[in-house]
């Protein structure tokens, strides 16, 4: 499938207006443009009735989302599950970008946003955010490089530990260690099929295009690079 962009987005929207849809839409890139495009897309999908369920990717319970996707809703019309800032496409390849976002948020006096980016970076590096020993400021240069794929920044980084302690995660229940890979679980659900009136719209700023789930969406669904 072709990857749409800001120049060909209108082609995709016309496609939906004409009745050709896919269960999943991935929009990635500029945050504002993704939100803007998602608004247009979901408005068309629900033109004849339906509901858009907004989900925060920073606090998402992926199993709850999958359960909703598989279920037949009692609500009328199409049911759109829109996950904002999904982390499904993160890996250490995007860790530096997440680090830069954390720094920018601190400069802008937005500690909650900075902490969210730090936790996303830790998850991208395969670290358990609930373990104090994994706090970024506690990692050696070698550990940092191994986990995040870029050199440990110079200077004292203890502020990251303090920030993560002072700003609790949005999610109330950390994932179980026994839980599987969320991306693989989503692929399994989609391959099995979901109700015709259910749709998943994913928004992401950073994606690792090498990941299996990105290639899966590109081959079988609709992807928009903004």
Q: CATH for 3-89+196-225, among 3.90.1150.10, 3.40.50.10490, 3.40.50.300, 3.90.226.10?
A: 3.40.50.300
Query: Would you state the pLDDT for residue 171?
Result: 58
**Please, which pLDDT band fits residue 172 given cuts at 50, 70 and 90?**
very low
| pLDDT greater at residue 120 or residue 191 | 191
**Please, which pLDDT band fits residue 43 given cuts at 50, 70 and 90?**
very high
Question: Is 95's pLDDT higher than 80?
Answer: yes
94-103, 149-158, 167-176, 185-194: which is most confident: 185-194
Query: Would you state the pLDDT for residue 177?
Result: 45
Question: Is 20's pLDDT higher than 70?
Answer: yes
Question: Is 133's pLDDT higher than 50?
Answer: yes
With 0-12 / 13-18 / 19 or more C-beta atoms within 10 angstroms meaning exposed / middle / buried, residue 197 is middle
Query: Would you state the pLDDT for residue 26?
Result: 98
Q: Are 84 and 53 in contact (CB under 8 A)?
A: no
Query: Would you state the pLDDT for residue 178?
Result: 45
Query: Would you state the pLDDT for residue 179?
Result: 53
Q: Domain locations in the chain?
A: 3-89+196-225, 96-166
pTM: 0.80
Q: Are 82 and 55 in contact (CB under 8 A)?
A: yes
Question: Mapping DSSP to helix (H, G, I), strand (E, B) and coil, where does residue 127 land?
Answer: coil
Query: Would you state the pLDDT for residue 170?
Result: 67
Question: Is 143's pLDDT higher than 60?
Answer: yes
Question: Is 1's pLDDT higher than 50?
Answer: yes
Query: Would you state the pLDDT for residue 45?
Result: 98
Beta sheet of 198-204, edge-to-edge order: 3-5, 222-225, 24-28, 198-204, 78-84, 50-56
**Please, which pLDDT band fits residue 176 given cuts at 50, 70 and 90?**
very low
């Amino acid at each position: 499938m072709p990857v749409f962009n800001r120049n060909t987005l209108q082609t995709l929207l016309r496609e939906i207006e004409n009745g050709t849809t896919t269960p999943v839409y991935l929009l990635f890139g500029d945050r504002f443009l993704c939100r803007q495009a998602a608004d247009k897309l979901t408005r068309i999908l629900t033109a004849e009735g339906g509901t858009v369920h907004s989900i925060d990717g920073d606090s998402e319970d992926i199993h709850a989302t999958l359960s909703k996707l598989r279920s037949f809703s009692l609500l009328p019309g199409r049911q759109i599950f829109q996950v904002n800032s999904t982390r499904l496409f993160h890996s250490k390849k995007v860790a530096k970008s997440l680090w830069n976002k954390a720094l920018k948020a601190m400069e802008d006096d937005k500690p909650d946003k900075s902490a969210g980016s730090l936790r996303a970076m830790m998850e991208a590096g395969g670290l358990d955010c609930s373990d104090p020993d994994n706090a970024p400021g506690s990692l050696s240069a070698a550990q940092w490089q191994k986990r995040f794929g870029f050199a440990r920044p110079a200077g004292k980084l203890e502020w990251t530990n303090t920030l993560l302690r002072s700003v609790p995660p949005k999610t109330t229940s950390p994932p179980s260690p026994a839980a599987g890979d969320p991306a693989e679980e989503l692929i399994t659900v989609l391959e099995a099929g979901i109700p015709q009136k259910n749709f998943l719209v994913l928004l992401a700023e950073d994606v690792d295009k090498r990941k299996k789930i990105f290639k899966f969406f590109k081959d079988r669904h609709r992807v928009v690079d903004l």
